[in-house]
A and B are shown apart, each in its own frame.
Chain A
Amino acid sequence: MTPPGRPAAIAAVLLVASALPPLRHALEASMTAQMLVQLPLLAGVGFVFGRAIPVRMAASLAAWNHRGVTGFVLASLASAYWMLPRLLDASVSEPGIAAAKFVSVPLLVGLPLALSWPRSSFVVRGVLMLESIASLFRLGWLYLISPVRLCNNYLLDDQQRLGQMLIAIGALLFLWIAARLLWGRFDPTRYAGEAPADRRGAASLLATINSPGRR
């Protein structure tokens, strides 16, 4: 098996395993596990699939995905959809909705993210990250203060714990980005005077935003 195919095969196994009863029930037993473990896991599987897409296919998709915008739009819409309490609830008790979740979160959230991230500019990434942090805070706050259960399948204390954790994750992400802006290798002033069309500058900028360890 070729090296890019192997992670995808592992991801496929993970996807099937997560849809089978033992793992599925464990990850749907609480609202917290479903939102913080199952959904990110499914998106991660799709991300790995996206990395394994053949070069020619990726190139033809790229013609419709200028600077990664289309992919980010798709991923944002699909992830917002799966944050509706009603769908979290229904995906536990209705087989059709469950199937839609196991197919659409990998293919419509993780995969487009993988295709779009490398093509996107600093500004687009910044907007996406800050909007994600804002969403974590908004959703976390809603779950924390709601006096009623938003999902009939889950308990109120579970919902409130999830709210706290969403806010904590949002805060950590924010601190991480702030720390990288302050102490990371990226120096915003270095690029301030350069022409926006400077491709080399932009490319090295992208390389700096991508964590140093990534290939």
Chain B
Amino acid sequence: MPALRTSLASVALVLAGAWLFAGATDGFQAFTSEAARRIAVRDRPAMVPPVALETQSGERINLAELRGKWVLVDFIYTGCRTLCLSLGSDFARLEEELAGPIARGRVRLLSISFDPSRDSPRELAAYLERSRRRGAAWLAARPADAAGLVELERRFGVTVVPDGLGGYVHNTAIHVVDPQGRIVDILDLGAPETVKQSLRRHGVT
């Protein structure tokens, strides 16, 4: 009898284990938290929080005010000399390639700094210039207070880790926010076409 009971118990455990694994990986799709957050926003778009921001010109805006347009959001710190350079060039390319929808006022670009103590409006303006910004549709901003930063990181699912060399490592991506203020897509860097595809899928371009 112990052998029979043992097989029953083992089979039950394997089935329960498979069920738990499926639950923990979004049906065997997401094995990393980065993949998980991307699937999560596609299934259940998250609202962007109404956080106060200070832009590169020193102007105070609220993230909630950007509703009504599609907004592409990335997270940066201007002290970055590695990945953010590539984020900057991604946004520069998108600004160029989306010139039409930008001119029609349908799309904006927003780079949010997660290092607000160092990224003053002046640093943000220098970042935009370094990144070859063309027009006013691309904003750079820092959260006006620490609570806002925490809220942004939580809602967008951005994790920032000090790299031990005075810089930061973070999960870099381009977040697509719809006119209702919902994060509907999170996309990789280095592939502006996927961003354009996402916008096309949503009927923007």
Binding site for B on A (CB under 8 A): 62-67, 69-70, 73-74, 77-78, 80-81, 84-87, 89-90, 93, 149-156
A152 touches B9 (CB 8 A): no
The prevalent SS among residues of A at the interface is helix
Binding site for A on B (CB under 8 A): 1-3, 5-6, 9-10, 13-14, 17, 20-21, 24-25, 30-36, 159, 161, 163-164, 169, 171
What separation, in Å, do the CA atoms of A128 and B196 have in the docked complex? Answer: 50
Residue of chain A at shortest CB distance from B30: A86
B24 touches A84 (CB 8 A): yes
A66 touches B17 (CB 8 A): no
A62 touches B169 (CB 8 A): no
What separation, in Å, do the CA atoms of A85 and B9 have in the docked complex? Answer: 28
A63-B2, A73-B10, A152-B34 given; name 9 further pairs at CB < 8 Å.
A62-B2, A64-B2, A64-B9, A67-B6, A86-B36, A149-B34, A149-B169, A152-B32, A152-B171
Which residues of A have CB within 8 Å of B24?
Answer: 81, 84, 86-87
- Known contacts A63-B2, A85-B32; is A153 also within 8 Å of B161 by CB? yes
Tell me the smallest distance from the CB of B6 to a CB of chain A, in Å: 4
A155 touches B6 (CB 8 A): no
What separation, in Å, do the CA atoms of A156 and B165 have in the docked complex? Answer: 14
A155 touches B9 (CB 8 A): no
